[in-house]
């Protein structure tokens, strides 16, 4: 697949540690002519502009237009200020929770930036994700409420404060409302997917990092990579920054063995999602594929998933029945177990049942409209029958 010059520059410019060849290509692409406005429009929704800004100003500052340079620096400064605020809240929160006896593992966010990007300001962070020992989750919810944190829930992706915390409340905002926190007892328990690694095992293998002078526990790399792979897969890898995360973590491994990660992923039933994540890091950033995974990268389901993501990552996003079907096929191909496939099928049928032709951004074909019309008729009939029985 041939990238546009802007996308090629974006990929070379978002390596956490660009090598000499990537720097050379950046200069060549700029010399051949770059639409800087288009580059910014692509980079911002992909969540990678601070990293791009750092690499361009460090390696190609003399050939970047002054206006673009100012835009890059202003945006990066805003992200750095927000990340600084979030990382200070993280340090305060983990320190207080640990002091009160809670076992907590920061997941993604400033902790990931500090450990693998070398600078908290280089990775955009929109909230704090904390994995709490499940046996302490009920007490932790009481702790958050007692410490002045306010319960929130996401409604169509927008966090909204709620008056009463639910029994399984996960979302909170800081007392001043400026920082969002996701407190997870289980990493992933949704209608479409289940991913529940044993906290005790992960805790026993933990490492440590320091954020603003606070030493905090973090996942070992062999545990972190499957977790990041599941997160990216859940969101269908629709943002480049999740692939950058995988590449950044993989590049820190002294020897890309992969055996420990695969063993963990098999146990946690996310092997295929991990292999797809590694294949994406190789396809986009040239990361070396661990020998233990080399044959799995060539599996048809993995190659198909990577080809789909490469084709769609930078393309306009449309919400159609066709895109729902494509998402469903990806979910099936990335699943390791029959129970996971059945869960995804049930979720897909629910989404189809709630779909509204009038809200589709791209009109359906005549054939698809007939099929969908028949489905709606059956759905409405069952809905009316349900109402009569009630």
pLDDT at 386 over 50: no
Q: At a CB cut-off of 8 Å and minimum separation 6, what does 13 contact?
A: 26, 51, 52, 55, 56
- At 233, which helix (H) or strand (E)? helix 221-234
Q: How many CB atoms lie within 10 A of CB 138?
A: 13
Order across the sheet with 104-107: list the strands.
Answer: 104-107, 128-132, 180-184, 171-173, 150-155, 158-161
pLDDT digits (tens, 9 = 90+) for 61-91: 888 999 999 999 899 999 999 999 999 999 9
Lowest mean pLDDT segment, chosen from 114-128, 167-181, 257-271, 286-300? 257-271
Judge whether 171 and 182 are in contact, CB under 8 Å.
Answer: yes
pLDDT digits (tens, 9 = 90+) for 321-331: 667 777 777 78
pLDDT digits (tens, 9 = 90+) for 264-318: 898 999 999 999 999 999 999 999 888 888 888 988 889 999 998 998 899 877 6
Average pLDDT over residues 164-177: 83
Q: Over the range 280-307, which residues count as b (16 or more CB within 10 Å of their CB) and which as e? A: bbbbbbebebbebbeebbeeebbeebbe
What dihedral angle (degrees, nearest 10) is formed by the CA atoms of 39, 43, 45, 46?
Answer: 140
Share of the chain above pLDDT 70, in %: 83
For the chain, list the domains and their CATH numbers.
5-64 (no CATH), 82-219 (3.30.460), 220-314 (no CATH), 321-389 (no CATH)
- Distance CA(103)–CA(133), nearest Å, equals 6
pLDDT digits (tens, 9 = 90+) for 335-383: 887 878 887 777 777 776 666 655 555 555 666 666 666 666 765 665 5
Predicted confidence band at 95 (pLDDT cuts at 50, 70, 90)?
Answer: very high
Q: At a CB cut-off of 8 Å and minimum separation 6, what does 166 contact?
A: 151, 153
**How does strand 128-132 pair with strand 180-184?**
parallel
Distances (CA, A) of 50 to 37, 233, 328: 16, 23, 33
Q: At a CB cut-off of 8 Å and minimum separation 6, what does 67 contact?
A: 36
Counts for the chain of helices (H) and strands (E), in that order: 17, 10
- Distance CA(343)–CA(349), nearest Å, equals 10
Q: Which residues pair with 158 in a beta bridge?
A: 155
Average pLDDT over residues 109-129: 92
Q: What is the DSSP letter of 359?
A: G
pLDDT recorded at residue 29 = 92
Q: How many CB atoms lie within 10 A of CB 91?
A: 20
Mean per-residue pLDDT over the chain, rounded: 85
- Distance CA(46)–CA(79), nearest Å, equals 14
Distances (CA, A) of 162 to 100, 138, 149, 365: 26, 18, 12, 42
What dihedral angle (degrees, nearest 10) is formed by the CA atoms of 206, 276, 323, 126?
Answer: 30
Give the predicted TM-score (pTM) of the model.
0.86
pLDDT at 319 over 70: no
Tokens matching residue 252? 């820190």
Q: Which of the pair, 257 or 222, is modelled with greater confidence? A: 222
pLDDT at 389 over 80: no
pLDDT digits (tens, 9 = 90+) for 8-43: 999 999 999 999 999 999 999 999 999 999 999 999
12: left (phi over 0), alpha (psi -120 to 50) or beta: alpha
Judge whether 252 and 224 are in contact, CB under 8 Å.
Answer: no
pLDDT at 132 over 70: yes
Identify each DSSP E strand in the chain by its residue range: 104-107, 128-132, 150-155, 158-161, 171-173, 180-184, 188-189, 194-195, 207-211, 214-218
Judge whether 321 and 355 are in contact, CB under 8 Å.
Answer: yes
């Amino acid at each position: 697949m041939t990238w546009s010059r802007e996308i090629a520059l974006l990929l070379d410019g978002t390596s956490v540690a660009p090598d000499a060849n990537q720097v050379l290509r950046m200069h060549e692409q700029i010399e051949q002519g770059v639409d800087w406005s288009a580059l910014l429009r692509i980079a911002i929704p992909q969540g990678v502009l601070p990293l791009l800004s750092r690499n361009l100003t460090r390696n190609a500052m003399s050939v970047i237009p002054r206006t673009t340079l100012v835009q890059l620096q202003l945006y990066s400064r805003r992200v750095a200020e927000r990340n600084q605020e979030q990382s200070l809240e993280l340090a305060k929160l983990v320190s207080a929770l640990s002091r009160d006896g809670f076992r907590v593992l920061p997941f993604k966010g400033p902790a990931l930036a500090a450990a693998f990007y070398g600078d908290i300001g280089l990775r955009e962070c929109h909230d704090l994700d904390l994995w709490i020992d499940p046996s302490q989750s009920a007490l932790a919810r009481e702790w958050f409420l007692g410490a002045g944190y306010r319960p929130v829930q996401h409604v169509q992706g927008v966090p909204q404060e709620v008056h009463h915390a639910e029994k399984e409340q996960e979302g909170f905002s800081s007392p001043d409302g400026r920082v969002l926190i996701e407190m997870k007892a289980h990493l992933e328990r949704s209608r479409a997917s289940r991913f529940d690694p044993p906290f005790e095992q992960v805790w026993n293998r933990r490492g440590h990092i320091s954020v603003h002078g606070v030493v905090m526990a973090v996942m070992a790399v062999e545990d972190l990579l499957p977790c990041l792979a599941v997160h990216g897969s859940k969101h269908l890898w629709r943002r480049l920054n999740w692939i950058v995360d995988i590449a950044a973590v993989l590049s820190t491994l002294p020897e890309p063995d992969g055996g420990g990660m695969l063993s963990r992923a098999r146990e946690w039933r996310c092997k295929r999602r991990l292999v797809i994540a590694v294949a994406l890091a190789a396809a986009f950033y040239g990361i070396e594929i661990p020998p233990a995974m080399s044959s799995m990268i060539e599996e048809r389901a993995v190659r198909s998933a990577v080809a789909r993501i490469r084709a769609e990552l930078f393309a306009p996003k449309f919400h159609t029945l066709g895109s729902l079907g494509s998402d469903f096929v990806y979910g099936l191909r990335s699943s390791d177990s029959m129970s996971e496939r059945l869960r995804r099928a049930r979720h897909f049928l629910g989404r189809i049942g709630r779909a509204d032709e009038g809200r589709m951004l791209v009109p359906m074909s005549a054939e698809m409209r007939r099929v969908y019309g028949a489905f709606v008729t059956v759905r409405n009939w069952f809905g009316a029958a349900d109402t009569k029985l009630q």
